[in-house]
Amino acid sequence: MSVPGSPNSVKLGFGAKRRRQFTKSAVCARTARLVEMSGETLVHCIVRDITERKQIERSLTAALAEANEANRAKQEFLASVSHELRTPLNAIIGFSDVIDRELYGPLGHTRYREYIEHIKSSGQHLLELINDILDISRIEAGKFELYRVPTAPGELVRENVTILREQCQKAGVELAMHIAPNLPELNLDQRAIRQIVLNLLSNAIKFTPEGGRIDVRCDAASGGGVDIVISDTGIGIAHEDLDMILSPFARGRDVQVEEKSGTGLGLPISNALASLHGGRLDIASTLGEGTMVTVHLPADEKSA
């Protein structure tokens, strides 16, 4: 047997599969040679096992898909942040211009006092957005440091619920709070825990419609720790979004979620701060019925 116009060594490039000990392996025949043996023409092949290479290729493909998804989420986040930053800035510039030009007469006019309040609230909102962005950046860079002090967790929760009680009333949402007696004292970063409670409670208010209810509990947990539980009767979170909702730059895909303002960093920051305390954040939710977020703070806090 011969191959016209070519030597007896022919390069091949094809993939094959074979079974070995009931497992599948990917192999590749790199070269083949015609061999005469006992009056028969045989094909002599050099075969290489490329199973590991194929596994690496699949891993790289999966990593690329994950990176593309992360990039998409960051692009959406940047677009959202750009809008969120422009809104209060436009308000600050607009109201300041009206006051500067004295469009309503001398500066003693009552309308200017109202505009000053708008400027102040817009500035506070802008500062909160910037702080969120800086916090998540420091957390992701591993440069966020906790400053723990002996703390009564129940009192800390009570103080921060009181701060947002008026906001609940304006939203037409009922707010109930239960602080268990004799809770253990924990070494906590008070600013971080305050940020967790305010983030979670603000989210609950934002996504709970008028006539809804929010419950805040602070209970003793096993092992001497404390659980802070915030539950609401809001719009809930879709099951497919539960895994990604704690990731930075990710938001729920529900239209009602997309219509709400905010960077979507509240949950990721809260989760990271709980983790830095050696705790964790658990979310249980049913779309259209509500959400329950539990912050577990252990008695023996260790950096994650």
Helices (H), the chain: 51-100, 110-140, 153-171, 190-206, 255-259, 266-276
Unique residue bearing structure tokens 């879709």:
238
57 versus 303: the higher-pLDDT residue is: 57
Please indicate whether residue 90 or residue 169 has the higher confidence score (pLDDT): 169
For the whole model, what pTM was predicted?
0.64
- pLDDT for 195-209, tens place per residue? 999 999 999 999 999
What type of residue is 183? Answer: L
Domain 149-297 adopts which CATH fold?
A: Heat Shock Protein 90 (3.30.565)
Q: Which region among 5-19, 101-115, 186-200 has the lowest average model confidence (pLDDT)?
A: 5-19
> What is residue 74's predicted lDDT score, i.e. its pLDDT?
67
Nearest C-alpha neighbor of 186 from the set 68, 297, 64:
297
Cβ proximity of 293 and 220 under 8 Å: no
Position 16 confidence tier, pLDDT thresholds 50, 70, 90: very low
Domain ranges of the chain: 9-49, 68-140, 149-297
Predicted confidence (pLDDT) at residue 235 exceeds the cutoff of 60: yes
Same fold, 68-140 and 149-297: no
Q: Does the 68-140 domain belong in CATH 1.10.287.3510?
A: no
Closest to 218 (Cα-Cα) out of 241, 173, 188: 188
pLDDT at 184: 93
In this predicted structure, the answer to whether residue 148 has a pLDDT above a threshold of 80 is yes
List the 174-179 sheet strands across, edge first: 174-179, 213-220, 226-232, 290-297, 280-286
Region 20-42: mean pLDDT is 68
For residues 253 and 76, is the Cβ–Cβ distance under 8 A?
no
User: Does the structure show a pLDDT above 70 at 179?
Assistant: yes
What percentage of residues in the chain have a pLDDT greater than 70?
A: 76
pLDDT of residue 255: 42
Give the type of residue at 231: S
| Across 67-74, average pLDDT | 69
Q: pLDDT by residue (tens digit) across 84-109?
A: 677 777 777 887 887 777 776 777 77
